[in-house]
């Protein structure tokens, strides 16, 4: 039987994020839905499943695009060391 | 007497017994038979799916046995019903595993060995489509405990029939599987017709409203439905005039049952009445 891989995403409660929960193999889309339900939904642990043929996933791994060569920490919140600042302000306020 | 208002009175439990047990025993036998695929189904995912569906069937059987146990207790006791879960579980076990072989009401269709995958799918297809018609009719039963349980059962069965139809479509379209599927259907038609054998006391069951439709009326509904469905696959229904293979609803067991039953009850017989 010609099998295909499907990636399964699971939403545990309404409004929550769809989190990747694993993958399954199935010969076609209809059975993929059944198997996703059996493996990731039969115990009431999901309110929604996304079942996506792996072939349809667009993948990006290029390090030039994902790991830029220059230091960019100044662009991120951590670059401002906000946590330390906040902590000192909070300590000062509590002290007064 | 009308079971909706007097479901637990003397006599009603005896009247309803063949109905409840035919439903429960069918699910029980089929659940066991198809669980024999665990570990050896065509692929891992299907192994899990088939095992899960089989467990569902055994769960349905348990819910139906519980109704029968509860009715029996209320009918024979003046006390307010108060069996502990353990006591009920023991009585359900006794009903499931402890009866004489001739006291079962299962259809032969449900009792057969799983065979090869095409046979399993063919049998399961015939069974699930028949069960679908039966549950649809009986969810309007005047026996309210039964109607209530069947409403839940039908929610799970919807998925089972989806699963089965998916497989039927696949096998019917596959050059390698189609001849096996057709051979299995051919060998199973008499049992599928026999599934609708009249129950013990059926006239009273119909008159009291416990069965909104007779077995014969349900059989006609089922035949019309699956004949049309199979036609879409170029598969013909049973030959007109084919003799149904009956007896299951009246205590006659199918060939091979003896060996199967010895295995199913093996653990129970070690210590009848034990709490697991």
Query: Which CATH number does the domain housing residue A8 bear?
Result: 3.10.20.520
Region of residue B273 (phi > 0: left; psi between -120 and 50: alpha; otherwise: beta): left
d(CA A58, CA B174): 32
Instruction: Please tell me which of the candidates A25, A31, A38 has its beta carbon nearest to residue B166.
Output: A31
Q: Answer whether B134's CB lies under 8 Å from B23's CB.
A: yes
The count of structural domains within chain A is 2
The domain of A36 spans 4-56
Q: Is the pLDDT of residue B77 over 70?
A: no
| Residue B128, SS3 per DSSP | helix
Residue B192 covered by a domain: yes
A77 interfaces chain B, CB cutoff of 8 Å: no
Q: Which of residues 50-79 of B touch A (CB under 8 A)?
A: 52
**pLDDT band, very low/low/confident/very high, at A69 (cuts 50, 70, 90):** confident
Q: How much of chain B exceeds pLDDT 90, in percent?
A: 84
Q: Which structural domain range is residue B135 located in?
A: 12-270
Note the pLDDT tens digit of each residue in B234-253: 999 999 999 999 999 999 99
Q: Are residues A52 and A67 in the same domain?
A: no
pLDDT at B74 over 90: no
H or E stretch including B74? helix B44-76
Radius of gyration of chain A from its Cα atoms, rounded to whole angstroms: 22
Do A39 and A69 share a domain, yes or no?
Answer: no
Cβ atoms of residues A54 and A62 within 8 Å: no
**Do the domain assignments include residue B1?**
no
Other CB atoms within 10 A of residue B51 CB:
18
A71/A37 same-domain check: no
What confidence score (pLDDT) does residue B4 get? 42
Quick one: A51 and A9 in the same domain?
yes
Q: What is the pLDDT of residues A9-58, one digit of tens each?
A: 999 999 999 999 999 999 999 999 999 999 999 888 999 999 999 999 99
| A48, A32: one domain | yes
Q: Can you give the pLDDT at residue A6?
A: 98
Residues of A with Cβ-Cβ distance to B54 under 8 angstroms: none
Q: What is the mean pLDDT of residues B126-142?
A: 97
Residues A18 and A39 in one domain: yes
Which residue is closest to B44 within chain A, CA to CA? A25
The CATH number that applies at residue B248 is: 1.20.1260.10
> Do A67 and A45 share a structural domain?
no
B275 falls within a domain:
no
Sign of the CA dihedral with B124 first, then B130, B136, and B141 last: negative
**pLDDT surpassing 60 at residue B220:** yes
What confidence score (pLDDT) does residue B2 get? 46
Asked if A35 and A68 sit in the same domain, the reply is: no
Q: Which of residues 99-158 of B touch A (CB under 8 A)?
A: none
Residue A30 burial (10 A CB sphere; 0-12, 13-18, 19+):
middle
Phi, psi of B175 (to 5 degrees): -60, -35
- Hey, what are A45's tokens? 């642990």
User: Is the per-residue pLDDT at B76 higher than 90?
Assistant: no
Output the CA angle B15-B17-B18, nearest 5 degrees.
95
Which of B8-12, B93-97, B213-217 is predicted with the least confidence, judged by mean pLDDT?
B8-12
- To the nearest whole number, what is the mean pLDDT of chain B? 92
* B97 touches B60 (CB < 8 A): no
**A48-53, strands of its sheet edge to edge:** A19-26, A4-11, A48-53
Residue B265 lies in a domain: yes
B145 CB-side CA count, 13 A: 19
pLDDT of amino acid B73: 80
- B64 vs B73: which has the higher pLDDT: B64
Task: Establish if B151 belongs to a structural domain.
Answer: yes
Say what the pLDDT of residue B3 is.
Answer: 43
What confidence score (pLDDT) does residue B79 get?
Answer: 55
| A25 contacts chain B (CB < 8 A) | yes
pLDDT at B96 over 90: yes
Question: Which residue in A24, A25, A34 is closest to B163 by CB distance?
Answer: A34
**pLDDT(B9) > 80:** no
Condensed to tens digits (0 to 9), the pLDDT of residues B160-210 reads 999 999 999 999 999 999 999 999 999 999 999 999 999 999 999 999 999
- Give the pLDDT of residue B1: 42
Residue A76 pLDDT > 80, yes or no? Answer: no
Nearest chain A residue to B51, by CA: A38
Q: pLDDT at residue B82 above 80?
A: no
Residue B41 lies in a domain: yes
- Tally the domains of chain B: 1
Q: Is B69 inside any structural domain?
A: yes
């Amino acid at each position: 039987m010609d099998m295909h891989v499907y990636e399964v995403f699971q939403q545990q409660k309404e409004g929550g994020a769809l989190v990747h929960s694993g993958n399954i193999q199935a010969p076609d889309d209809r059975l993929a839905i059944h198997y996703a339900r059996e493996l990731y939904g039969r115990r009431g642990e999901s309110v929604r499943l996304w079942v996506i043929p792996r072939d349809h996933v667009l993948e990006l791994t290029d390090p030039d695009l994902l790991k830029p060569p220059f230091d960019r920490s100044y662009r991120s919140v951590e670059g401002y060391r906000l946590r330390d600042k906040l902590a000192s302000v909070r300590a000062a306020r509590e002290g007064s | 007497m009308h079971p909706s208002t007097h479901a637990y009175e003397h006599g009603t439990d005896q009247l309803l017994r063949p109905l409840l047990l035919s439903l429960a025993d069918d699910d029980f036998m089929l659940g066991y038979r198809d669980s024999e695929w665990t570990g050896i189904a065509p692929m891992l995912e299907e192994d899990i799916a088939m095992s899960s569906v089989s467990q569902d069937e055994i769960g349905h059987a348990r819910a139906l046995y519980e109704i029968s146990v509860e009715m029996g207790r209320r009918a024979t006791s003046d006390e307010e019903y108060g069996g502990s879960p353990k006591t009920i579980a023991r009585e359900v076990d006794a009903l499931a595993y402890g009866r004489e072989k001739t006291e079962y009401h299962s259809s032969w269709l449900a009792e057969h060995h799983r065979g090869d995958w095409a046979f399993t799918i063919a049998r399961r297809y015939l069974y699930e489509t028949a069960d679908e018609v039966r549950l649809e009719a009986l969810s309007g039963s005047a026996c309210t405990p039964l109607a209530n349980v069947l409403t839940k059962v039908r929610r799970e069965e919807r998925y089972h029939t989806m699963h089965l139809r998916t497989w039927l479509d696949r096998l019917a379209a596959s050059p390698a599987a189609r001849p096996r599927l057709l051979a299995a259907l051919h060998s199973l038609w008499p049992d599928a017709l026999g599934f609708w054998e009249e129950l013990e006391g059926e006239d009273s069951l119909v008159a009291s409203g416990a069965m909104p439709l007779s077995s014969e009326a349900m059989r006609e509904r089922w035949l019309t439905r699956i004949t049309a469905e199979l036609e879409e696959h170029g598969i013909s229904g049973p030959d007109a005039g084919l003799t149904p293979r009956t007896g299951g609803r009246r205590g006659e067991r199918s060939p091979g049952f003896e060996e199967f039953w010895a295995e199913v009850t093996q653990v129970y017989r070690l210590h009848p009445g034990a709490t697991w």
